[in-house]
Amino acid sequence: MTPTETKILQLDEAITKVADWQRAGQKVVFTNGCFDIVHLGHIDYLEKARALGDRLVLGLNTDASVNRLKGPSRPVVDEYARARLMAALVFVDTVILFNEPTPKALIEALKPDILVKGDDYSVENIVGADFVTNNGGSVETVPLVKGYSTTSMIEKIKKSY
**Helix (H/G/I), strand (E/B), else coil: 161:** coil
CA dihedral 18, 19, 24, 25 (to 10 degrees): 80
pTM over 0.95: no
Domain 5-160 listed as CATH 3.40.1120.10:
no
**Secondary structure (3-state) at 120:** coil
Q: What is the pLDDT of residue 157?
A: 84
Domain ranges of the chain: 5-160
Nearest to 30 by CA among 98, 78, 99: 98
Distance in angstroms (rounded) separating the CA atoms of residues 11 and 92: 16
pLDDT tens digits for range 21-64: 999 999 999 999 999 989 999 999 999 999 999 999 999 999 99
H or E element, residue 151 = helix 150-160
Cα 134 from Cα 122, distance rounded (Å): 17
pLDDT tens by residue, the chain, 161 residues: 889 999 999 999 999 999 999 999 999 999 999 999 899 999 999 999 999 999 999 999 999 999 998 889 889 999 999 999 999 999 999 999 999 989 999 999 999 999 999 998 999 899 999 999 999 999 999 998 888 777 788 888 888 88
**What pLDDT is stored for residue 135 in this prediction?**
97
